Structure formats: C-alpha cells, structure tokens
Amino acid sequence: CEHLPHSYSHQTNKEKLILWYAENCRRQFHFLHPDRRPQFLAADNECGIQKMVCTTIRPTSVPYPEFSTWHGCAKFVSDHLLYKPLEKPTGLHCVLLPV
C-alpha cells in the first residue's frame, strides 16, 4: 500500500463517523427486517481499510451538457434505457449482464 495515496491506508475522523452511522443503520435495518439480506454499505479497499462508497468515488464532469440538468438526464434515461421489472424485487439479482 506504500505506492497508493495516504487516504487509501488511513481513515479520517469523518470517515470513521460515517462508518459508525452506516453500521448503526445496518443494525437497525437488520432488526426491522431480519428476513432480508444485509445491506452492503461499506467494503474493504485495496489496503484492507473499510471505506464507504461515497468516500471512494470522486465526482467528475461528463462531456455531455444534457447531463447537467435533471431534464436532460431524464430524457437520456427514457430514450436509452428499457425498464424490465425483476422477478423478485426484494432479492438480489444473480445475473448482472446478459450472456
């Protein structure tokens, strides 16, 4: 991990607090819905340090101006994506991509 940035091998106090909130949320969810699968809120990174998705993804700008408004995003989604409901909407889907 010495070749990676310092943030990969350490957690800030804010990250620790967010992870604490996430764990609290996970416990409450499990208490209220014991029959459902546990939520995936955090994962270990390349250095084995637990990180939230919100702390590992950096915002980036896209070269498409239509994505700068919600109208443009909604139009893109309606023009290019086909909604197909899951057979079991409360379960995890086994196949992510068509073979």
Give the pLDDT confidence of 6-38 residue by residue, as tens digits: 888 999 999 999 999 989 989 999 999 999 988
User: Which tokens belong to 51?
Assistant: 């990180």
Read off the pTM: 0.50
pLDDT on residue 32: 93
DSSP code for 33: -
Distance CA 99, CA 85 (A): 19
pLDDT in tens, 25-79: 899 999 999 999 888 888 888 888 998 866 555 667 788 888 889 999 999 999 9
